[in-house]
Chain A
C-alpha cells in the first residue's frame, strides 16, 4: 500500500562489503605465477580427448582425465585473433573493487596462438570502426617489477599488423 502523501518513504541504506581472499588452487595458481615471473600465458591439454584449457585445469571437464602435469603445459599467445568483442559506452561498477570503469572500454574474446583456447581481456582499441572479428592482437604485459600475479599483469591486447 502506498504511503500517504505527507509521509516519508523510509529506506535502509546498506553497502555490502565482504572481504575475500579467494584461492586459485594448483593449476590456476601456477598460471598466475608464470604470468608474473615470466610473462608467459599457459594452457594445458587433456591427454585423453585432446581438449585444451586456458587457464589450465586439474581435470578435463569432459572426461575427467587428470591433466595438471606441468610438463604437458603449452605456452600460448602472446598473440591471438579476436573472435568477438564488445565495446561499452556505459560505465560499470566492478563488484570486486567497488570502482566504476572508465568509458568507453572494450573486451575481446581472443583465440590465442598455440592452442585452441580463448582468453577474455580488455582490448586497447575502443573505436568500434577499428575492431573487427578476425583481427590480430598481442598481449601487452606490465613491466616485471609491477606484476602481481593476477590477470592485470596483462594490461590489454593491442592491435597488431602482420
Chain B
C-alpha cells in the first residue's frame, strides 16, 4: 500500500431476523455512536468524511443515503455513498485517507432485509432482457452454481453441510450472531430443500443490522489506539454477468482480486502466512468455492479443505470464526462485517471466538449473482 491506513475501531449491531422497532437511520445511528465511543473521538469535530454504504432497491429509496447526514453529524461535511457490498466502502474510505484528503473517516453500512421481499430485489439485479423473466433469484442461481461445482470437481452436499455445521457452531461464541446451533451434517441434509442442492440451512437467513468503522492515517490511528489494524492489501474484480459467460465452478474474479491484494501485501504463501479468513458465504457451497479463489487451496479442492479440519476454529487456518454470513448478516453490511470481525480478531477483542496470536487476516466481500464481484482486503495487526 502506498501508505498505512489504520482501522481504529469497529462496531456492529446485534444482527436479528427483523428489527422493526428501528428506522433504517436508527440502525446507522446505533453503530455510529458505538464506533465513535470505541474510537474515543468526537463525531462532530474529528470525523472529516462519511462513507456510507446502502442499496436503493433494498431501502426502497432513491439515494438511500438521504438520512445518513442527520445521524452522523455530517451536515455541511463530505458524505458519499457506495452502492455495493460494505467491503468496497472500507476500500473507498481507505482511498480517502491515502489521497491525503481526509485524515479520519467514518465508514458505515446498513440494510434491513426483513422490510421487503429480497427475492424480488435479487431478481431485479438480473439482466432484464434474457434472464429476469425466468424468475431467477440468487438461491436458484446458487443452485446452478453449486451443481456445476459438484459436477466439475466432485464436491458433495455433505461437504457443503460441513460448512453450515462449522459456522453455526462458531456463531455460538459470537454475541452479535443472529443464529447459532449445534447441528450435524444430517440435520442440514434433511432440512427443507429450496433448490437442489441448496436447503434452507445452506442459505444465509434474512437479517437486519448495520456496521461501522473508523479509518485514519497512521499518525492518528497510533494516537487513538495501541491496537491499530493496518490495511495491508486490497483487490477487487468483476466477473461477467451472464452466467454462461463464465465457468461457475471457478472464481476467476475472486482469484484476480485476491492475487492483487496478496501482491500489495507481500503475501507469497497464503495458507502459511494468513492466520484467519472472514469471507462472505451467502450459501454454504460458496465458502468452499471462495477458499479456492482466495488461494487457500487448489481449484476443486475446497471440499478436501473442509474435510481436513484445517478451517475449523481451532484449525490451522480458521475460516469464519465469527460464524460467517450463515449465522445471519444482511447483504451490503456483509463485507464490512467481515472486516470488522477480522479487526476484532487482530485487536485481540474477539472474545470466545478469538484465534490466538492472530497477526494477518483476510476479509472478503462479494455481491451480485453467483458472486459476480469480489473485494478482498488484507489486514495486519499493528501495535504490540
Contact = CB atoms under 8 A, between A and B. Distances in A.
Question: Do A and B have CB atoms closer than 8 angstroms in the complex?
Answer: yes
Interface of A: 12, 14, 16-26, 28-29, 57-59, 61-64
Interface string B24-39: 1110010000000000
Contacts, number: 65
Interface of A is mostly: loop
A21 B208 CA distance: 13
**On chain B, which size bracket covers the interface?**
20 to 34
B128 A64 contact: no
B43 interface: yes
Given A12-B129, A62-B73, A64-B73, A21 B21 contact: no
Given A12-B129, A58-B29, A61-B69, A18 B57 contact: yes
A43 to B, nearest CB: 15
B23 A23 contact: yes
Contact of B43 (A14, A58, A64): A64
Nearest to A28: B23
The 10 closest A-B pairs by CB, nearest first: A25-B23, A64-B73, A61-B70, A20-B60, A25-B26, A20-B116, A23-B23, A21-B115, A64-B43, A25-B22
A61 B75 contact: yes
Interface stretch (B117-125, B176-184, B189-197, B376-384): B117-125
Given A12-B128, A63-B73, A64-B73, A21 B43 contact: no
B29 A59 contact: yes
17 contacts: A12-B129, A14-B132, A19-B120, A20-B60, A21-B20, A23-B24, A25-B23, A25-B25, A25-B26, A26-B23, A26-B26, A29-B21, A57-B70, A59-B29, A61-B70, A62-B73, A62-B75
Nearest to A66: B33
Given A23-B22, A23-B112, A58-B26, A18 B60 contact: yes
Given A59-B71, A61-B70, A64-B43, A22 B26 contact: no
B44 interface: yes
Contact of A22 (B44, B115, B133): B115
Given A24-B23, A58-B26, A59-B29, 9 more contacts: A14-B132, A19-B116, A20-B60, A22-B60, A22-B115, A23-B112, A59-B73, A61-B69, A61-B75
Contacts of B21: 23, 25-26, 29
B47 to A, nearest CB: 10
Nearest to B112: A23
A61 B24 CA distance: 16
Contacts of A28: 23
B20 A14 contact: no
A12 B75 CA distance: 42
B115 A18 contact: no
A18 B121 contact: yes
A63 B71 contact: no
B1 to A, nearest CB: 32
Interface string B1-29: 00000000000000000011111111001
Contacts of B121: 18
Contacts of B120: 17-19
A64 to B, nearest CB: 4
B263 to A, nearest CB: 41
Nearest to B116: A20
Contacts of A26: 21-23, 26
A64 B45 CA distance: 11
A29 B24 CA distance: 13
A45 B124 CA distance: 41
A17 B115 CA distance: 14
Contacts of A25: 21-23, 25-26
A92 to B, nearest CB: 16
A63 B70 CA distance: 10
A20 B115 CA distance: 6
B7 to A, nearest CB: 22
A23 B29 contact: no
A29 to B, nearest CB: 8
Contacts of B133: 12
Contacts of A22: 60, 115
A61 B23 CA distance: 16
A29 B115 CA distance: 16
